[in-house]
Amino acid sequence: MDDAKPTADLGGKHIVLGVTGSIAAYKAVGVLRALRDHGATVSVIMTRGAAQFMTPLTFEVLSGRRVVTDLFEGHETMPHLTMSEDADAVLVAPATAHFLAKAALGLADDLLSTMLLNVRGPIIVAPAMDGDMWTHPTVAQHVDALRARGVVVMDPEVGPLASGRVAQGRLSSEIKILEAVQVALCPQTDWRGQRVLVSAGPTQEPLDPVRFLSNRSSGKMGYAIAEAVRARGGEVVLVTGPCALAPPSGVTTVQVNTASEMADALSQRFASCTVLIMAAAVADFRPRVTASGKLKKQGKHEIELALEATPDILGMLSARRTSQVVVGFAAETEQVLPHAKEKLRGKGLDLIVANDVTQAGGGFGSDDNAAVILSAAGEQRVFGLMPKRRLADEILNAVRDMCLMAPRGASLVE
Ligand code: C5P
């Protein structure tokens, strides 16, 4: 079953979408469509800068409403008041450094900045700019000032920017922006009361002080799960191997390197969690000996490495559990379902999330994934390729429905 259809969870909500003059203005089209797909009505305000990148007509057609760009234009006498009063939330995406400065200081020289001073509902801002601009102390100060006032300022993503550089400054993904609006307007609380231990990323098993054995895991799936639990009201401790990802906000993050460090970090916290979700790609083998100095070539043409098995963390914790729900992952390259079923049984899990890491567009490093979720009771849910953040929600739905609501799990209902 692939229930990938969006829900109308924003039905009845009216959102004012402010678009400012960043090259990322074209991405606001996707954001607008995502909001509408989720049932919201949307009015767009463009700044003069935005109108240099996109025509109002594009947003007019897609929103089905007149796009306002100027405080003094049109038929309405006071659009800055009427538009803000009608809005359940205001989303500014993309937001430029100039916009952040105006909003932080309360300057009101166009329709968008003026109406912001009259908004009662949540304000969500998704910045996009070059990396050096985002880290500039003045911009940081304005972001802090806005956050202190309760504005949700999203962290832009790290990636290639219009300048050609790779840095933090890319507009957050459509799904993350959508999620920020959903959380601001209708926070989901079905994981409230759960204390969730999530593992993520690869482990690094040292050969010597400069070399290690590891794998291609990016940590994206585990981080997405941690973020999803947090967004749905649960408490999260994220135990993570080395990843190039920013720790999700509101989540306690514990950094580890090796499988044995990960085992210790999880072991210490296992007794007090209600759910363990083991998304980490833990190394199965490590060098039997870690050299204290850098291994030298010394004219050798080959060397043999003696490897030993690492602790099976999941199996060990599963055997120790009292009432915890235990969820594992099976990253496979062949015979995905038989191998996943074997792991589910062998490790005594409640649920396993199986995926074929060779599938194009999914697996390690990708933003998307496809998966089959299997429960110990024999239930199965199949999900086609979708963003990992969305799959994270589907995994949480499955854990909730198949384990937490079932008699032996902790109850989600307060
Ligand atoms: O046996 P396999 O490594 O394929 O099982 C995968 C599952 O077991 C994942 O959930 C992974 O996090 C976990 N695992 C573990 N300890 C290991 C190896 C894998 O907890 N040493």
Q: Is 342 found in the same domain as 223?
A: yes
Q: Is 363 found in the same domain as 270?
A: yes
Q: Is 176 found in the same domain as 321?
A: no
- Of 158, 185, 212, the one marking the end of a domain is 185
Bridge partners of residue 331, in order along the sequence: 355
- Ligand 1 pocket check for 177: Cβ under 6 Å: no
Q: Is 212 found in the same domain as 158?
A: no
Q: Is 215 found in the same domain as 140?
A: no
- Of 185, 211, 236, the one marking the end of a domain is 185
Q: Is 208 found in the same domain as 175?
A: no
Domain count for the chain, please give it: 2
Query: Is 282 inside a domain boundary?
Result: yes
- Ligand 1 pocket check for 230: Cβ under 6 Å: no
| The token pair that represents 339 in the structure block | 């191998």
Ligand 1 atom having least distance to the Cα of 315: 20
* Residue nearest (by alpha carbon) to ligand 1 atom 2: 330
- Residue 133's region, left for phi above 0, alpha for psi from -120 to 50, else beta, is alpha
- Local structure of 143: helix, strand or coil: helix
Q: Using the structure block, give the residue that is written with the tokens 């993570």.
A: 240
Query: Is 318 inside a domain boundary?
Result: yes
Half-sphere exposure of 235 (CA within 13 A, CB side): 8
Q: Is 107 found in the same domain as 29?
A: yes
Query: Is 414 inside a domain boundary?
Result: no
* Residue nearest (by alpha carbon) to ligand 1 atom 4: 330
Catalytic residue among 215, 257, 355, 397: 215
Q: Is 220 found in the same domain as 109?
A: no
Write the CB contacts of 225 (distance below 8 Å, at least 6 apart in sequence): 198, 200, 277, 279, 392, 395, 396
Query: Is 67 inside a domain boundary?
Result: yes
Query: Is 240 inside a domain boundary?
Result: yes
Range of the domain at 98: 14-185
Ligand 1 atom having least distance to the Cα of 328: 10
Q: Is 387 found in the same domain as 295?
A: yes
Contact 354, 375 (CB under 8 A): no
Q: What is the CATH number of the domain that holds 56?
A: 3.40.50.1950
How remote is the CA of residue 340 from the centroid of ligand 1, in Å? 11
What does pTM read for this prediction?
A: 0.71
In this prediction, residue 77 carries a pLDDT of 66
How remote is the CA of residue 219 from the centroid of ligand 1, in Å? 14
Query: Is 190 inside a domain boundary?
Result: no
Q: Is 87 found in the same domain as 26?
A: yes
Most ligand 1 atoms within 8 A of CB, residue of 199, 270, 312, 349 to mutate:
312
Query: Is 62 inside a domain boundary?
Result: yes
* Residue nearest (by alpha carbon) to ligand 1 atom 18: 282
Most ligand 1 atoms within 8 A of CB, residue of 314, 327, 355, 373 to mutate:
314
Q: What is the CATH number of the domain that holds 290?
A: 3.40.50.10300
Q: 28-37 and 56-63 are packed helices; what angle lies between their axes, rounded to 10 degrees?
A: 10
How remote is the CA of residue 331 from the centroid of ligand 1, in Å? 9
Q: Over its length of 414 residues, how does the chain's per-residue pLDDT go in tens digits?
A: 334 455 678 999 999 999 999 999 999 999 999 999 999 999 999 999 999 999 999 999 999 999 988 777 655 667 777 787 889 999 999 999 999 999 999 999 999 999 999 998 999 999 999 999 999 999 999 999 999 888 999 999 999 998 889 999 999 999 899 989 998 998 788 999 999 999 999 999 999 999 999 999 999 999 999 999 998 999 999 999 999 998 888 899 999 999 999 999 999 999 999 999 999 999 999 999 999 999 998 888 998 999 999 999 999 999 999 999 999 999 988 999 999 999 999 999 999 999 988 887 777 778 889 999 999 999 999 999 988 988 999 999 999 999 998 655 433 333
Q: Is 393 found in the same domain as 326?
A: yes
- Of 185, 212, 238, the one marking the end of a domain is 185
- Local structure of 175: helix, strand or coil: helix
- Ligand 1 pocket check for 312: Cβ under 6 Å: yes
How remote is the CA of residue 315 from the centroid of ligand 1, in Å? 8
In this prediction, residue 74 carries a pLDDT of 58
Please indicate whether residue 215 is annotated as part of the active site: yes
